[in-house]
Amino acid sequence: MDPACSPKRRRVGDPGAVCVERPGTKFPEVMLFVRESKMGSSRRAMISALARDKGFGVADSFSTSVTHVVAERNQPKDVWSWLKNVSAKCGLEVLPEVLDISWLTDCMESGCRLPVEDRHRLKEESEEEVCTRSSSIPIYACQRKTPVNHLNRHFTDALEDLAEGAAFSESNGRALAFRRAASVLKSLPFRVARMEQLQGVPCLGKHSLGIIQELLDLGVCKEVEKIRSIEMNRVMKVFMSVWGVGLKTAARWYRDGLRSLSEVRASPSVKLTRMQQAGFEYHTDLARPVSHVEADTIAGAIRALVPNSFIAITGGFRRGKDVGHDVDLLLTHPDEGGEVGLLCKLLQYLDEQGCVMFQDYRDNTYKGTNAAGLNESKSTMDHFERCFTILRLPLCPRVTSREDDKVTGRHEVNEAATSHYTTHPKKKIPETRERAVRVDFVVCPSSQYAFALLGWTGSQQFERDLRRYASQEKAMSLSSHHLFDKQQNTFLRANTEEEIFAHLGLPYLEPSFRNA
């Protein structure tokens, strides 16, 4: 009974729902599918005919256009296992409502489309199962698996926009609460379709639950739409899209009456930092996402320049993201102390080739054993030697996903770029087909490598929770430099990330699950 599937379609009232008009039906947003199982073919035909008569669209076979599945005397788990099977074959993104026939008979009796009530729904699992599963979701992001591609983007986008709006109005507590709510939804192994599924899920306050409920009921949420449309928020976002412009600067420009980037540039009272000047100059290039192929290319080229050292791509790319806003590189040397002077040499070399369009170098300020000051520091900034740069690159072919590697020839691209840096050291990169890319270099001694790697892999929310977990649950202080046990009054050594997780008594989480 698998029909040829029509294009993907979302359920009515769902995120981004597209209302497919069905001329000739009284309820164009509804497409029923009546399940034959237990009902028999003649009763199914009769009910379908009656429903059509009352103005409902009824599909003969299941397809992605079905919005409501109706069944009689079926075990919920049977219907759900059938539904998951057929919708997977169709590539259906959001599952339809699964209802007992009583909803349809009620509708037909009253002659209108009645709202779906809880009692009509055939639930995917018992309340008890939901509670057991939900209450097992831990409160810290570092205890949850959060993949890059999660199932609740519609809700998390909304909550993150609210978090951003709260941050813009300096309500940091509220911003954090929305971020935590979004983060826990990202870790759920199921798409939220009903509020009962969220019973016992931690980090969801009343406010966030209300937002989710409205999104489930209406597909949109008034408060979220309002936050998105507030002029200050929109303008702040534009200002903060310039590299080097943070919340405080953006708010100041807004308070000064500036409303666009051209107004900022034209304003005689605005004094830009060096970083902001570069941010404006290369704004178009830097706004373009960096692909993982470009990141690999850069890392490959840099590795070829400092062959005895070790260079890791960290940040979002290490977590499996396909695109990022920059490339984060962590440099170290197998011998403790061998890393000293490495970055300066590397930068000088790149500069000689005309590859460095901007650099902001900061020397190492780590004071070694003076743990107390670092431990109590609220700042996530570490003290490594680093350089924020904008590098000029040969433009890579546009690549949108890892699948495309085969097509574009990832290795070819890598080799081409590497040889460009290495075999023509004095040759400037030609002006055509080039772009500016943000590259951050961080240098650490090998004894701190595991901590630096963990710290620079992110995500920010994951790191935040990992440090909170260390401090609140283990009386330890974690930074990108070290792990300090406050009870034992000692530093705990680690050569690998696995060892750090083990010190904290946490199961190891692969980078690809740290996208909290």
Would you say 212 and 195 are in contact if contact means Cβ atoms under 8 Å apart? yes
- In the list Mn ion, ligand UTP, none, the entry touching 480 (Cβ below 5 to 8 angstroms by class) is ligand UTP
* φ, ψ dihedrals at 509, nearest 5°: -115, 120
Query: Least CB distance from residue 315 to ligand UTP, whole Å?
Result: 3
Q: Supply the Cα-derived Rg of the chain in whole angstroms.
A: 28
- Residue 34 CB partners (closer than 8 Å, separation 6+): 44, 47, 48, 51, 58, 70, 71, 104
Query: Least CB distance from residue 339 to ligand UTP, whole Å?
Result: 18
Query: Least CB distance from residue 56 to Mn ion, whole Å?
Result: 50
Choose, from 100, 285, 296, 328, the residue flagged as catalytic: 328
Q: Kindly state whether residue 315 participates in binding Mn ion, applying the rule CB under 5 A.
A: yes
Q: Which stretch binds Mn ion (CB under 5 A): 8-16, 284-292, 324-332, 368-376?
A: 324-332
Would you say 162 and 224 are in contact if contact means Cβ atoms under 8 Å apart? yes
Distance CA 270, CA 27 (A): 57
Secondary structure (3-state) at 393: strand
DSSP conformational letter for 121: B
What is the b/e burial string over 435-447, where b = at least 16 CB atoms within 10 angstroms of the residue's CB?
bbbbbbbbbbbbb
Task: Specify the residue, 294 or 382, whose C-beta has the smaller distance to ligand UTP.
Answer: 382
Distance CA 474, CA 258 (A): 47
Query: Least CB distance from residue 289 to ligand UTP, whole Å?
Result: 8
Distance CA 491, CA 479 (A): 11
Task: Specify the residue, 72 or 326, whose C-beta has the smaller distance to Mn ion.
Answer: 326
Task: Specify the residue, 37 or 143, whose C-beta has the smaller distance to ligand UTP.
Answer: 143
DSSP output for 275-302: HHHHHHHTHHHHHSPEEHHHHHHHHHHH
Q: Which stretch binds Mn ion (CB under 5 A): 219-227, 246-254, 310-318, 404-412?
A: 310-318
Choose, from 296, 326, 382, 465, the residue flagged as catalytic: 326
- In the list ligand UTP, Mn ion, none, the entry touching 381 (Cβ below 5 to 8 angstroms by class) is ligand UTP
**Residue, CB closest to Mn ion:** 315
Task: Specify the residue, 27 or 449, whose C-beta has the smaller distance to ligand UTP.
Answer: 449
Handedness of CA 472, 476, 477, 482 (dihedral sign): negative
Task: Specify the residue, 300 or 324, whose C-beta has the smaller distance to ligand UTP.
Answer: 324
Task: Specify the residue, 212 or 293, whose C-beta has the smaller distance to Mn ion.
Answer: 293
With CA atoms as reference, report the closest residue to 387 among 437, 429, 439, 426: 439
Query: Least CB distance from residue 308 to Mn ion, whole Å?
Result: 26
Query: Least CB distance from residue 386 to ligand UTP, whole Å?
Result: 8
Q: Kindly state whether residue 244 participates in binding Mn ion, applying the rule CB under 5 A.
A: no
Chain centroid to Cα 328, Å, comes to 17
Task: Specify the residue, 130 or 444, whose C-beta has the smaller distance to ligand UTP.
Answer: 444
- In the list Mn ion, ligand UTP, none, the entry touching 380 (Cβ below 5 to 8 angstroms by class) is ligand UTP
Secondary structure (3-state) at 512: helix
DSSP output for 344-392: HHHHHHHHHTT-EEEEEEE-----TT-HHHHHH--------EEEEEEEE
- 68-71 β-sheet, strand order: 57-58, 31-34, 68-71, 97-100
Q: Kindly state whether residue 294 participates in binding Mn ion, applying the rule CB under 5 A.
A: no
Query: Least CB distance from residue 315 to Mn ion, whole Å?
Result: 3
Question: Looking up tokens 């409902």, which residue turns up?
Answer: 56
- In the list Mn ion, ligand UTP, none, the entry touching 496 (Cβ below 5 to 8 angstroms by class) is none
Amino acid in position 108: M
Binding site for ligand UTP (CB under 6 A): 315-316, 321, 324-326, 328, 380-382, 455-456, 458-460, 463, 480
Q: Kindly state whether residue 279 participates in binding Mn ion, applying the rule CB under 5 A.
A: no
Task: Specify the residue, 72 or 328, whose C-beta has the smaller distance to Mn ion.
Answer: 328
Choose, from 106, 360, 440, 485, the residue flagged as catalytic: 440
Q: Which stretch binds Mn ion (CB under 5 A): 44-52, 203-211, 315-323, 340-348?
A: 315-323
Q: Which stretch binds Mn ion (CB under 5 A): 127-135, 201-209, 323-331, 376-384?
A: 323-331
Q: Kindly state whether residue 296 participates in binding Mn ion, applying the rule CB under 5 A.
A: no
Q: At how many degrees (to 10) do helices 172-186 and 206-218 cross? A: 60
Tell me, yes or no, if 285 is annotated catalytic.
Answer: no
Query: Least CB distance from residue 376 to ligand UTP, whole Å?
Result: 17
Task: Specify the residue, 240 or 251, whose C-beta has the smaller distance to Mn ion.
Answer: 240
Q: Kindly state whether residue 324 participates in binding Mn ion, applying the rule CB under 5 A.
A: yes
Task: Specify the residue, 55 or 147, whose C-beta has the smaller distance to Mn ion.
Answer: 147
Query: Least CB distance from residue 514 to ligand UTP, whole Å?
Result: 9
Would you say 423 and 363 are in contact if contact means Cβ atoms under 8 Å apart? no
Q: Kindly state whether residue 326 participates in binding Mn ion, applying the rule CB under 5 A.
A: yes
With CA atoms as reference, report the closest residue to 479 among 511, 515, 455, 443: 455
**Residue, CB closest to ligand UTP:** 458
Q: Which stretch binds Mn ion (CB under 5 A): 325-333, 344-352, 361-369, 379-387?
A: 325-333
Total residues at interface with Mn ion (CB under 5 A): 5
SS (H, E, C) 404-415: HHHHHCHHHHHH
DSSP output for 178-237: HHHHHHHHHT-SS---SGGGGTT-TT--HHHHHHHHHHHHHSS-HHHHHHHH-HHHHHHH
Tell me, yes or no, if 326 is annotated catalytic.
Answer: yes
- Residue 161 CB partners (closer than 8 Å, separation 6+): 224, 227, 228
Query: Least CB distance from residue 130 to Mn ion, whole Å?
Result: 36
- In the list Mn ion, ligand UTP, none, the entry touching 458 (Cβ below 5 to 8 angstroms by class) is ligand UTP
Task: Report, as residue numbers or ranges, the catalytic residues.
Answer: 326, 328, 440
Task: Name the residues that contact Mn ion, by CB under 5 A.
Answer: 315-316, 324, 326, 328
